[in-house]
Amino acid sequence: MQRIPAEVDTPDVLIDRDVLERNVERMAAAVRERGLQLRPHAKTHKVPEIAALQLAAGAAGLTVATLGEAEVFAAHGAGDLFVAYPLWVGPRQAERLRRLSAAARISVGVDSAEAAAAMGGQLGDAAEDIAVLVEIDSGHHRSGVHPDAAADVARAAARAGLRVEGVFTFPGHSYAPGMPVEAAAQEQQALDRAAGQLEAAGFAVRRRSGGSTPSALLTDSTAATEVRPGVYVFGDAQQLELGRCALEDIALTVAATVVSRHEGGTADGDGVPRRVVLDAGSKVLGSDRPAWATGYGRLMDHPDARITALSEHHATVVWPADAPLPALGERLRVIPNHVCLTMNLVDDVAVVRGGTLLERWTVAARGRNS
Amino acid sequence: MQRIPAEVDTPDVLIDRDVLERNVERMAAAVRERGLQLRPHAKTHKVPEIAALQLAAGAAGLTVATLGEAEVFAAHGAGDLFVAYPLWVGPRQAERLRRLSAAARISVGVDSAEAAAAMGGQLGDAAEDIAVLVEIDSGHHRSGVHPDAAADVARAAARAGLRVEGVFTFPGHSYAPGMPVEAAAQEQQALDRAAGQLEAAGFAVRRRSGGSTPSALLTDSTAATEVRPGVYVFGDAQQLELGRCALEDIALTVAATVVSRHEGGTADGDGVPRRVVLDAGSKVLGSDRPAWATGYGRLMDHPDARITALSEHHATVVWPADAPLPALGERLRVIPNHVCLTMNLVDDVAVVRGGTLLERWTVAARGRNS
């Protein structure tokens, strides 16, 4: 099953165009059916061509993580951008926000009175051009305030001259086996409670924003107005092992070559595993490995092989005892554990259909960490 | 203790020029004293200016992991490059090797008769311009053959027209507590045994190459002729926790801002940790986290703080109970777990002395995975 175009040198990132389009359309339809708006997280792909597909399928806007990502997508014509992050705004960030708000509708996150005051103070008269959503902790315990503290932050934002538009949360604890349903329920309760607090304090709550990829389709319009999944465009080994996508939904793989091959046992010494080594390591796959994962990614055409170790340019793959080891030089496709990291490691990607290379897309927002 | 220049926006990578130079010189002197040659691994930094410092301090050449890295450093004048990797060579790789060998002295790794035959076949008459070192498994069980199989691989390389120059190994299992001494001993035994096999088969063994950063200074000239440490130029949280460098040897930190702050306890809900969140996540720090590490990196000026979770743009830092939480907007320096990943995530770095920005260096070989 050779589906790696001959022109591709390994390691390289392959995007299956048909699967990508199907993923984009399916999520758009499913979210629409639930009466929600879709604001996909563009940090996953960082590619203007993919953002254009999402917007054409009806996305209300894009979510980004940094001002740098917002600048890239605004320059490519995105008209509505949500920086879903508790920004700390100094003079340079304020100037960038002013320029961004001249090009697109901009909303940002805030999770403290101090950050709201700093942002409003730095923006001055431009504060009214920036909408803010108060970030709520719905159980992930990263950033975000308790729902009962949301009104205090909203009041501080209003005092700072910012336009309070609603609340948002990221149910990151949905990325664990058995957690999506519980995390989605906590997400909805937290949004509901925080929105109630804001309304009681006199704010009109226009946006209640939630939804990781695992929880997006478990969210409904009783508590949220929009969802922000990102990974769904490609799928990855984490989503696969969580049961949130199937093998045929995987749109992104890393093409790799078998560079070392060891039958193990007597010839190699005691305790030496039967394995192959691929030329795709942590510098292209990323090294996220949740405790519950089977390894550092999966092989597309060999579901029982296990990636037991990853170094920068090597993936060590322990092979099923009953299957022949692949040959040296053979090219295999690896499904990374976390596609957001993979896309941030390459300057461009190969867009393929079947075994044919269609074109290359530039990862325009790669490395825009600030 | 503010040592982050005001011009720097976070997250950003800071290189302390004085500490870097001291690290470069100290390793050069220590390796020279042992009667070994130093061939530092440039995959760690990917920066021509740092390679120039290493060569000026007496390095015999550079080690790289990929042809792409070799091309970058050759273009910047490096005259002796060892691709310490079991390359699988097709027509395009052969053409690149031919061009490289016109610009610099090139040696590469090989760990199978098949790869040697492929390489020699593709290179044709140019094979004699390429030196090969047989890769030996000294206990890390990644790539490399058992020392007793080294002569078979060498004979295949010679049959393919390649110039056999010696043996090399990477004692990657030295990166664990208590392991450096044992791994260095295994490394020397493996090199010694493999070199003996090659000599018995009639090969002149000119190079025996070993040495990770943890084991480099435990290696001596009885078994090795050269060492290839990389991380020593910067140090990182892994080396610190392994006791292979001290806090004052850390030359690379990531400047980060406190963007979220939570006292924990009653106000935040039961079981919610007392923490701050920094704007440096896995997309700048890298997400390597060995099981023995205290977390996802360390804070330079707060050794008791623990980075308990990392997402793409957030580091969650649980703070010591007896110390006040830093303020929102405060800027802190994070020591990444693994600097090689950090350098591969940024396009350039800030070179600093004390709190002053001296210049920026381009990470010229970033992303050169193939």
B57-100 pLDDT, tens per residue?
999 999 999 999 999 999 999 999 999 999 999 999 999 999 99
CB B227 within 8 A of CB B219: yes
| pLDDT the model gives residue A268 | 63
Q: What is the pLDDT averaged over residues B225-248?
A: 96
Query: Residue B287's closest CA among A288, A367, A307?
Result: A288
Among B residues 169-188, those touching chain A with beta carbons less than 8 Å apart: 172
Chain A within 8 Å of B312 (Cβ-Cβ)?
yes
CA distances A57 to A24, A30, A31, A61, B47, Å, are 7, 12, 11, 11, 42
CA-wise closest residue to B141 among A268, A256, A287, A330:
A268
User: What mean pLDDT value characterizes chain B?
Assistant: 95
Q: Where are the extended beta strands (E) located within A112-158?
A: 130-136
* Across B175-190, average pLDDT: 88
Looking at CATH, the fold of the domain delimited by B239-362 is given as Lyase, Ornithine Decarboxylase; Chain A, domain 1 (2.40.37)
Backbone angles phi, psi at A351, to 5 degrees: -95, 120
SS3 A291: coil
CATH 2.40.37.20 residue ranges in chain B?
239-362
Peptide bond into A11 cis (omega under 30): yes
* pLDDT above 60: residue A134: yes
- pLDDT tens digits, residue range A166-198? 999 998 888 888 888 889 899 999 999 999 999
What pLDDT shows up at residue B7?
96
pLDDT reported for residue B235: 98
Share of chain A above pLDDT 90, in %: 88
Query: In the predicted model, what is the mean pLDDT of chain A?
Result: 95
Q: pLDDT band for position B269 (50/70/90)?
A: low
pLDDT in tens, A220-246: 788 899 999 999 999 999 999 999 899
CATH architecture of structural domain A17-232 = Alpha-Beta Barrel (3.20)
Which ipTM value was assigned to this complex?
A: 0.96
pLDDT value at position A174? 84
Q: Which residues of A touch B258 (CB under 8 A)?
A: 88
* Gap between the Cα atoms of B87 and B106, Å rounded: 13
pLDDT at A222: 82
Which residues 317-356 of chain B have a CB within 8 Å of chain A? 327-329, 340-341, 344-347
| Whether pLDDT at B2 is above 70 | no
CATH number of B17-233: 3.20.20.10
CA–CA separation, A363 and A279 (whole Å): 21
Preceding peptide of B11 cis, ω within 30°: yes
Residue A206, pLDDT > 60, answer yes
Query: How many Cβ atoms sit within 10 Å of the Cβ of residue A98?
Result: 18
What is the mean predicted confidence (pLDDT) over A305-327? 97
The interface residues of chain B toward chain A in range 65-84, judged by CB-CB distance below 8 A, are 65-66
From A212's Cα to the closest Cα of chain B, the distance in A is 13
How many residues are listed for chain A in this entry?
370
Are B69 and B368 in contact, with CB atoms under 8 Å apart?
yes
DSSP for A150-216? HHHHHHHHHHTT-EEEEEEE--GGGSSTTHHHHHHHHHHHHHHHHHHHHHHTT----EEEE--HHHH
- A11 in reach of chain B (CB within 8 A): yes
Question: What's the pLDDT tens digit per position in A248-285?
Answer: 999 999 999 999 999 987 666 677 889 999 999 999 99
Q: Is residue A42 within 8 Å of A230, Cβ to Cβ?
A: yes
| Residue A152 predicted with pLDDT over 80 | yes
* pLDDT on residue A89: 98
The count of residues in chain B is: 370
Q: At A285, phi and psi to the nearest 5?
A: -85, -25
Query: Are B3 and B331 spatial neighbours (Cβ–Cβ below 8 Å)?
Result: no
Q: Where are the alpha helices (DSSP H) in B57-112?
A: 67-75, 91-103
User: Looking at chain B, which residues constitute the CATH 3.20.20.10 domain(s)?
Assistant: 17-233
A282 and B288 in contact by Cβ < 8 A?
yes
Tokens representing A326 are: 């692949």
Structure tokens that stand for A369 in this block = 């960490």
Euclidean distance between the first and the last CA atom of chain B, given in angstroms as a whole number: 41
> CA–CA distance from B146 to each of A284, B110, B111, B193 (Å)?
28, 13, 10, 10
Q: Do B142 and A277 touch (CB under 8 A)?
A: yes
What DSSP string runs through B219-283? --TTT-SEE---GGGT--HHHHHTTSS-GGG--EEEEEEEEEEE--GGGT-TTPPPEEEES--HH
